[in-house]
Chains A and B, each alone.
Chain A
Amino acid sequence: MTGATAARPDLSVAVEGDGLVLSGDLVVWSLSALSDTPAAQRIDLAGVTRMDTAGAWELAQRRDRGATLTGLSKHHQGLLDTVTAALPEADDSPPAQARWRRIFEATGARMVGMLVYLIALAEYLGRVLAAMARGLRHPSRFPMTALVHHAQETGLRAVPIVAVMSFLIGVVLAFQGSDQLRQFGAEVFVVDLIAISILRELGILLTAIVVAGRTASALTASIGSMKMRQEIDAMRTLGLDPDLVLILPRVLALVVMLPILGLVSALMGLLGGAVMSWVELGISPSVFLARLSDVSVTHAIVGLSKAPVFAVIIGVIGCHAGMQVGKDAESLGRMTSSAVVSAIFAVIIADAAFSIFFAQVGL
């Protein structure tokens, strides 16, 4: 045993014929001194003063390979017996698979995982709709307070960032567009450029992306932490329906607020474009308004009609991810980031699908 100041463990190894003579400290810190030694038939341990489980483990390994141990003190023999008794026995592990097989298996598992994910999302959409039907049938159970609260959280609180972002997008479009159009002497068409791109695509798409980042993560984190602390299980035992109490108000708040945010975004984008057109091209606000009234209102309708769909996508993905959180904090972080990525990706895919659809129907 060591006293107040532990001396550096010191193990001396001597090779004698087909045997090893060890003396000193046979502990985990000196184990590396043994690693280069030959597989000996005899190991003499009479000089070993200190031994720990690591040393005993090494001796047990060597004994298994046919070495005989001599000179063990009684205490060390006891330790060796303890370690030998505790030596883990490997289970029959399945034979390792070939590399190409593992790659195919992983790819297949991912594809199946994606399909399962899509089915799960469809199931959640169904659960939201069913919860909504239940809420409408029993208006007294409809979570009105929660709906207003979440509308404030996801809608009102997001207005500043959405407004500033859209204003800047309008400014950028006017600036870049005027530069190009001036080459053809068609500066005034910058109004059409701004109006169509903002009303139809950019306003709502960028709003949806911002909300996906902001709200999908918040949904996953809030529902996920409730799941982690078993609050959701507690709700079920108390006869509260998590679909109705938690998921419905969150998704519905998004469906109500995202079109409004889209509208705010469109107006601020136009304002930014108008300001920049005035400063850069000398198009006065009255001329801007006059040109703007020539732009078909269809563009605005097309743009805003996408908002509820984006809202449902963001809400369902966020809530589903929250419900997938397990018991550990790590899964909360993992699900939160995956919810944001999936939501943004899904919004862009849906936008592309909308583009094709509207082009086909001629809007």
Chain B
Amino acid sequence: MSDDPVVRVRGLRTQFGTHVVHEGLDLDLRRGEILGVVGGSGTGKSVLLRAIVGLEAAQAGEIDVLGQRIGSLSGADRRALEQRWGVMFQDGALFSSLTVRENVEVPLNAVPGLTDAQRRGLAELKVSMAGLPWKANENFPSDLSGGMRKRAGLARALALDPEILFLDEPTAGLDPIGATAFDRLIVTLRDALNLSVFLVTHDLDTLHACCDRVAVLAERKVLTTGTMDEMLGVDHPWVHEYFHGPRARAAETKD
């Protein structure tokens, strides 16, 4: 076990045309922690996630994931690295022509020597670990509710037992009970599988319930990072408004 951060971002700059999204952004994700990334709409939370997993090219800066530099990897190295992280997109991003079980089997197809029965059993295990009922295995994504699609997306992200899990707004659009259950699921999985979780969210309840540390994105960089308690002491106007607003107080008193 090393103390190096599993994700290390230094001096990141991303832009679309003349619109600069990030400028000189630094961020660390430590091994085994759940890091919540918050920020107003349009501050580039999802862009940051996409840049880290290599879906968005950075104009400048360094991104190291598990000690490997994103953007300078050969094809084989990149594939090997992709098998060590799992990404859950906002609406699950399931393949609509495959059933839930087949969706989870897609990453498992890359493993040489697995029998069909093993693949099937492992996929069903992941679906069950993500909190879906058995009968969801044979459902198509269009048959599922939004919350179930997110769980199926999580099952697919967990298929290869990744070391890092990237979650893009996992609780957005879920009812409070479903969102709470999802928060608990993330913590349970982290504890059981020793995951490091990079969690983009708007949901203050999620921050309270499961994040070890919070990173606030504003003014094109990470404004501040720290525990929830430390966030309450930050006197930047946006951060103060965010963590002391009426919704924040409601989320706090629930604990």
CA distance A58 to B122 in the complex (A): 9
Contact A32 B114 (CB under 8 A): yes
Q: Which of B4, B84, B115 is close to A6, meaning CB atoms less than 8 Å apart?
A: B84
Interface residue count on the B side (C-beta < 8 Å): 39
Residues A22-79 near B (CB distance < 8 A): 27-29, 31-33, 35, 52-54, 57-58, 61, 78-79
Known: A3-B2, A91-B135. A27 touches B118 (CB 8 A): no
Contact A90 B134 (CB under 8 A): yes
Residues in A whose Cβ lies below 8 Å from that of B137: 88
User: Counting CB contacts under 8 A, is A89 at the interface?
Assistant: yes
Contact A57 B121 (CB under 8 A): yes
Contact A86 B113 (CB under 8 A): no
Interface string of B78-89 (1 = CB under 8 A from A): 001000100000
Contact A88 B127 (CB under 8 A): yes
B167 to chain A, nearest CB (A): 18
CA distance A86 to B66 in the complex (A): 29
Residues B215-237 near A (CB distance < 8 A): none
Residues A143-162 near B (CB distance < 8 A): none
Contact B108 A28 (CB under 8 A): yes
Closest B residue to A1 by CB, please name it. B1
B128 to chain A, nearest CB (A): 4
Known: A4-B68, A6-B84, A31-B111. A88 touches B142 (CB 8 A): no
User: Counting CB contacts under 8 A, is A180 at the interface?
Assistant: no
Residues in A whose Cβ lies below 8 Å from that of B188: 82
Interface residue count on the A side (C-beta < 8 Å): 35
Contact B84 A35 (CB under 8 A): no
Known: A35-B115, A78-B192, A330-B97. A87 touches B125 (CB 8 A): yes
A residues lining the B interface (CB < 8 Å)? 1-6, 27-29, 31-33, 35, 52-54, 57-58, 61, 78-79, 82-83, 86-91, 326-331
Shortest Cβ-Cβ A-B pairs, 4 listed = A32-B113, A4-B67, A52-B161, A328-B142
Q: What are 24 A-B pairs at a CB distance below 8 A?
A: A1-B1, A1-B2, A2-B84, A2-B163, A3-B2, A4-B4, A28-B114, A28-B160, A31-B111, A32-B111, A32-B112, A33-B113, A53-B125, A53-B129, A57-B121, A57-B125, A58-B118, A83-B125, A86-B128, A88-B124, A88-B137, A89-B134, A327-B142, A330-B142
